Amino acid sequence: MNWRIEKKLSVTALFIAATFYMVFGSTGANNFFSVLSHQEAVAQQPAQEQPATTVEIPLSKGYIDGKIAYFIATDASTEQAVQTITNNTGFPINYAPILAMTPESERGQGYLFLNGAKGEGPNGLQLPVANAVPGDKDYSPIWESNFVSWNDNATARELKSVEEILAAQNNGELTITETNTIVNSPAINMTSGT
Q: What is the DSSP letter of 153?
A: T
Burial of 23 (0-12, 13-18, 19+ CB in 10 A): middle
Mark whether 68 and 94 lie in a shared domain.
yes
3-class SS string, 72-91:
CCCEECCHHHHHHHHHHHCC
Q: What's this model's pTM, rounded to 2 decimal places?
A: 0.71
Residue 133 within any structural domain of the chain: yes
Taking the C-alpha atoms of residue 43 and residue 26, their distance in angstroms, rounded to an integer, is 25
Mark whether 64 and 96 lie in a shared domain.
yes
Residue 97 within any structural domain of the chain: yes
Mark whether 93 and 145 lie in a shared domain.
yes
Mark whether 32 and 102 lie in a shared domain.
no
Residue 55 within any structural domain of the chain: no
Residue 27 within any structural domain of the chain: yes
Mark whether 69 and 164 lie in a shared domain.
yes
Mark whether 68 and 14 lie in a shared domain.
no
Mark whether 138 and 97 lie in a shared domain.
yes
Mark whether 28 and 77 lie in a shared domain.
no
Mark whether 147 and 85 lie in a shared domain.
yes
The reported pLDDT for the residue numbered 53 is: 84
Q: Coil, strand, or helix at residue 25? A: helix
Mean pLDDT of each 10-residue bin along the chain, 194 residues long: 45 40 43 46 58 86 95 97 94 97 96 96 94 92 97 95 98 97 91 56
Mark whether 134 and 153 lie in a shared domain.
yes
Mark whether 74 and 39 lie in a shared domain.
no
Residue 125 within any structural domain of the chain: yes
The reported pLDDT for the residue numbered 161 is: 97
The reported pLDDT for the residue numbered 50 is: 63
Mark whether 185 and 138 lie in a shared domain.
yes
- H/E stretch holding 12 reads helix 3-20
State in Å, rounded, how far the first CA of the chain is from the last one. 73
E strands of 9-137, at which residues? Answer: 60-64, 67-71, 75-76, 94-95, 108-113, 129-130
Taking the C-alpha atoms of residue 56 and residue 92, their distance in angstroms, rounded to an integer, is 11
Taking the C-alpha atoms of residue 70 and residue 95, their distance in angstroms, rounded to an integer, is 22
The reported pLDDT for the residue numbered 117 is: 95
Residue 128 within any structural domain of the chain: yes
Residue 167 within any structural domain of the chain: yes
Number of domains in the chain: 2
Query: Residue 28 is part of which domain span?
Result: 3-49
Residue 177 within any structural domain of the chain: yes
The reported pLDDT for the residue numbered 41 is: 54
